[in-house]
């Protein structure tokens, strides 16, 4: 006998009241069925179907919303088959089973702002060997709490140093050319560039007309050739003002010419190693390389930090190839920043990052 009809007969046998507005047996049946469903829902108010929380055997994942996003997408948080560590590689080799999961998780998001493509996939992949933390809004590589902190933090022990194991996730075609991100908070370097561009505009040739492809150089949009052109005027003015600063020594501190002298000297002192007030020996190209180096390294020291942090690119192409760069203090000092660094829309662009932090030769 149907369960709901059996319950109905039991009610009649016990003399329980059946609503008077019931006109048919089917209506009674539907009401009884609805009542039983309500009781079932009330008895399990906190049930969450298809969400499998991680256990010690499924990894050391610490972010609840990421865990739920994985479980929702896959029905569970699967085991990671391979063993993956943070080290520089141009192509991380994945176990076929892990590769399938990474592909499935590439577009998965927990719905929060700032969760980009591949972030949750990388979070899952390294959870076997590391405690993986969502690092957004936490500390950067220099220990500053900032909204521009790296995406994740991975530690071999629970908790760990909040400035170690920082990981920035990118999703470009490859690591040949990526963005290091916005640099609007890099006020010191933006100030240096503004001095340079101010000198170039003030003492350069006046430009009355702009062609279709012409644009003014700004602290947000520039390339190395434009910086080089500005340094030509800078060198002339620096040698005229700073080398002969005795001419302005008796001027008041707020005098226009005295301020120009101080600013020219400040810019040279910030970018030239072992600078001493005097004639500049470096070429315009060398000065450009030094300034762009300071821009790039200042960004990398914070995100992801140059103390063992990593930049991981998971390709936006269908193969989702994974490249890792471990950013260390002993970078390639001969790296050509002139050829590889520029800015567009306030974002610092860099090419050939693998050449800046080459993989260490294994003995």
Give the model confidence (pLDDT) of 199-246 as tens digits: 888 776 666 676 777 677 788 888 999 899 999 989 988 888 777 666
Residue with tokens 């001493």: 276
| Tens of pLDDT, residues 28-55 | 334 444 444 444 334 334 333 334 444 4
| Tens of pLDDT, residues 144-165 | 998 889 999 999 888 888 989 9
Residue 316's pLDDT is what? 93
Residue 104's pLDDT is what? 96
The better pLDDT of the pair 83, 247 is held by 83
- Which pair of structure tokens corresponds to residue 233? 């005027």
d(CA 215, CA 238) in angstroms, rounded, equals 26
Residue 28's pLDDT is what? 39
Q: Coil, strand or helix: which one is 127?
A: coil
Name the phi and psi angles at 226, rounded to 5.
-70, -35
The H or E element spanning position 299 is helix 284-302
pTM of the model: 0.76
Determine what percent of the chain is predicted with pLDDT higher than 70.
78
Q: Bridge-partner residues for 324, per DSSP?
A: 89, 312
Residue 360's pLDDT is what? 65
Residue 158's pLDDT is what? 87
Q: Residue 148: count other Cβ atoms within 10 Å of its Cβ.
A: 17
| Tens of pLDDT, residues 45-93 | 433 333 444 444 445 888 999 999 999 999 999 999 999 999 889 899 9
Q: Residue count of the chain, please give it.
A: 363
């Amino acid at each position: 006998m149907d369960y709901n009809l059996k319950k109905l007969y039991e009610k009649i046998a016990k003399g329980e009241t059946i609503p008077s507005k019931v006109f048919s047996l089917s209506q009674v049946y539907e009401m009884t069925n609805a009542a039983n469903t309500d009781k079932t829902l009330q008895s399990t108010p906190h049930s969450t179907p298809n969400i499998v929380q991680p256990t010690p055997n499924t990894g050391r994942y610490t972010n609840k919303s990421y865990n739920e996003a994985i479980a929702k997408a896959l029905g569970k948080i699967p085991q990671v088959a391979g063993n993956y560590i943070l080290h520089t590689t141009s192509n991380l080799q994945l176990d076929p089973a892990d590769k399938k999961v990474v592909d499935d998780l590439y577009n998965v998001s927990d719905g929060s702002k700032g969760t980009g493509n591949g972030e949750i996939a990388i979070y899952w992949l390294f959870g076997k060997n590391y405690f993986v933390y969502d690092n957004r809004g936490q500390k950067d590589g220099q220990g500053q709490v900032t909204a521009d902190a790296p995406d994740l933090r991975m530690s071999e022990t629970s908790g760990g140093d909040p400035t170690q194991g920082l990981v920035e996730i990118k999703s470009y075609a490859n690591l040949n050319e990526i963005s290091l991100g916005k640099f609007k908070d890099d006020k010191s370097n933006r100030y240096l560039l503004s001095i340079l561009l101010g000198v170039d505009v003030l003492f350069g040739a006046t430009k009355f007309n702009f062609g279709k492809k012409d644009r003014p150089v700004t602290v947000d949009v520039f390339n190395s050739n434009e910086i080089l052109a500005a340094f030509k005027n800078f060198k002339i003015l620096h040698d005229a003002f700073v080398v002969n600063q005795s001419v302005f020594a008796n001027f008041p501190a707020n005098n226009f010419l005295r301020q120009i002298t101080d600013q020219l000297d400040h810019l040279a002192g910030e970018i030239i190693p072992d600078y001493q007030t005097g004639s500049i020996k470096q070429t315009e190209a060398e000065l450009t390389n030094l300034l762009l180096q300071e821009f790039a390294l200042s960004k990398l020291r914070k995100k992801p930090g140059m103390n063992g942090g990593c930049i991981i690119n998971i390709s936006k192409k269908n193969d989702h190839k994974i490249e890792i760069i471990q950013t260390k203090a002993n970078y390639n000092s001969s790296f050509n920043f002139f050829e590889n660094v520029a800015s567009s829309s306030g974002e610092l662009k860099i090419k050939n990052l693998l050449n800046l932090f080459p993989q260490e030769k294994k003995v």
